[in-house]
Structure 1
Amino acid sequence: MFWWLEIITKDPYCIYYFGPFDSLKEAQEEQPGYIEDLKQEGVGEIYAQIKLSDPVELTICQD
């Protein structure tokens, strides 16, 4: 398993996975850039966490 950044947005409701990262530190360093990109796209609230994972899908959105 690797470190992944999981970002959940409220409007639209989506779950994004960014990675894989070799270390927690690398994921932490990259996190602000991914959040800024989503903010520039105009998404609603953003919740982010870093975790050891192996996601099957990298983007999950509800219509």
Structure 2
Amino acid sequence: MPDPYLQRPEEARHFCLEVSNVDSYRSALKEAGYQIIEAEPIPHRPRFFTIDPAGNHLELTTILDDYQQA
């Protein structure tokens, strides 16, 4: 029986956390053994995804400037 808490890869549901330094979070999560999933770039929004222990997809980003001005 499939785990009901894990999303199928084709599902895009997630929530996003704005953090002060996305690179430090990427390093810390990678060091802790979490999967890092690189995301399609958005101007002035470095970001990546990971999956928490309950199977939730999380996006982490740092807002550097208005992406619409790029």
Q: Same fold (TM over 0.5)?
A: no
- TM (norm. structure 2) is 0.29
Larger radius of gyration: 2
- TM (norm. structure 1) is 0.31
Select the structure that is richer in strand.
Answer: 1
Select the structure that is richer in helix.
Answer: 1
